[in-house]
Structure 1
């Protein structure tokens, strides 16, 4: 139905001369129009080959809306030229646009095109023997006579162009121009004298006073800082000397206190462990060291043996991989031999199948040749069948058009009602003041919906909970800080005790050394 609609609308010249209203045609003309329409639909794929090629090669500047024109002319030249005769065909062609018909007929009735690609393309759609006997050969027989028609169209075009050229030729006339007067030489304008620019002020290349003052202040501040750093270094040096002489306590930070406390704690634990070992009667550790050395030697020998075992295992796995690779190669060779044998069998079967298909094709060609003998009877039956199809299609088109009109009317009624409803809504007065109830929800259908009052209450509760958590966290921080300070104080007390004990032990050692020296000197 789409193809009939496109061909029956008749936007081009062919539809104006061939497809006219049924009321202005007699029975013979109506029959011819319907046969042409049915033939264009039936052989659409065949005609599209020629028309598409024409638009791609010679008809690049032709309009796409003229496509149906070329389809109809191609159908008449291919299928109806015998029945129409050259005189009627020429009358139809000459009634159309001369340029378009000359270009299309010169393209279609080219003997080289008919014998080469047109024949090949049509043979892909229909049987090649049928195409050659029924379509290509008749077109080649009509080609000399159609060539005379093409030459007549060319003469008509050339005569039209000569008439246009002769009518548009103009005779040149000489212009009546006045002689221009010679131009006077313009007086040169005086050169303007430029005023002297003021000199550059000396302050441009001199640094500002503020910069010098800033540099002086910087140097003074740097000198003061260096002097203060030297003074602090000397003070610290003398304080260290005094502390080392008098063994005065030095102020420590928290990390130093904890570090020194851990050091003294570790020393005390080591000393206690040494005393316990002495009380248990622990002997010389040389035996333990010898045993440890022997065990390390044994571990080293076991590691070397393990490495050698792994090396031998890797060598064996490599040899196994080589053997497996050789086995795979042999299996692949066997598979390749089997595939060659299968391929040879398949090729033999394919050759037998091809011979059988060729035999079937010969039989089919013979049947087709026999069927072509009864072509006229089949053609009459086909024409009757086509007429019946066209009548059915026309009835279907009328029914579809009626349904489409009813649907459009229904849509227009609905649109008119909708527009009336919109206008009625727009005519209602608009309330500018909006009354908001803070206790009502938005009505959006959400699970977590709440009113503005409830939201404010929840926010107040959240703020109170947050404030309580902050107070609790602040109290915890103060408690942790106090506990840390108490721990540092305990560590300082412990460090002072350790230092006092170490000082007392050092004094005792020095007194022992002095007494031993005095005794030695007395003996000497």
Structure 2
């Protein structure tokens, strides 16, 4: 049993080395025969015969083994794939030649649980006569498969079933193997040289740990500056709104005549007071605090940029006022013309929007009509395609019959060629055995030479190691006394001892620290001056923003009132023409719908809503603020010019 088990193991090793994508079976068999020259001739012949058979009928064996892994061998390893291929080949092709007794010995030499599963799956009469026969018939002829392979397997059915029962009994009666204790490794001491005693090192100074800084209170408690900033922000907002209220009341008084000014100004004052009343005053029992001068960390670039922008606007307004004082023209006529042109542009935009909507409606009607015509054309094409496919199917059936006849002829030719291959293989084996024996003798001589050279090299290395160890055992003087106060005396210019060098370095560090502290004080003073200037600029910017916001809000209300007013119906020729075309296309579509049933058109996709991003809203607010500021400045300049005249 051990004899056959080793033979099967060698066959499985060779099959594991075989790669069908790269290796050619004939060349692989030649290489395997050269590697098996050390075995006996009987073993060699048996291994080569089984190996060549497994490679020749690889497709047939793969059908059975793959099905076994899918249906019955879920728990079997993929590493045993070639083992099942070898057993399948022996049972299918070599069972008559080997005899049942020898076949049973081979089975018993392998793992019993795997063999029971595989033999029960292979010798199942239902699978042999059904799907195995059908799969093998796709590769070879049906008559050849049934006569040479299926019928012999069915004849050996009772003996194989008896063998399976015996194996199952052996598995049940087999006692578990006693657990052998693993050998414990016994440690051995290293044969090392005795180390020399080391000198006692000088103790290092104990490092003094610096005291850590205490945790700041702001880590766990919010700072007071935030509350103070909030209070100052509310106070500044209230003051700015109060200032705006006064400015607007004065503008209204200047604009309205004295006869009607008393009543109108009083009413407008009440409205403005109600509208611009700060929210802080509405809440009862509020306490107001005067703002403290708390340093606020803001974005310096933004403050300077906005301050310069408002400064340029003020300069432009002053220049414009000077021009008006010198006698420049007024913008009233230009503003009237601008309003007319804006109204005209708005009418054109509404007409263009109506045209786009009607064009979309017209294209929808045309698309529905084109879809109806396309469906009719597709129906005609489908009928023609069905007729063409019927003709092609008939031609394919005739071609298949011709191909089957040619395949049968090729199979007969291949069977004849395979009979002559075995004789040629045996002749090749005999010739190559002699070559292998000659190569083995040459390799033995080379091995002897290399062994002698290795011994000489080992002796030489041992001598070198002994010399090296002898040199290491010689005593050597270590350590050197150094006097830090002594000058080395190399003859260099400015030469000094280590102690003097350390003192000079300490003095240099002190002077450097003094310079850094002075520079730090200068930087702090410059920062304080700059922060004070920035704070003043921030106050000016807040006032300008409040004024521009008020003017922008008034202008936005005027624009909203204008847009809310309904406009006259559009009388554009393009709109009327598009409406007429839509009515004509709808009438034509109804005619087509009346002639045959038509599926409902697809619903149009919803248009994506345009969301205002924060950046867009900020840009709009800036434009409104800038426009309001310009308008208020222009009004103030106009009033000043009128008073001067």
| TM-score above 0.5 | no
Decide which structure has greater helix share.
1
**Alignment TM-score, normalising by the size of structure 2:** 0.36
Relative contact order: is structure 1 or structure 2 higher (C-alpha 8 Å, sep ≥ 6)? Answer: 2
**Alignment TM-score, normalising by the size of structure 1:** 0.43
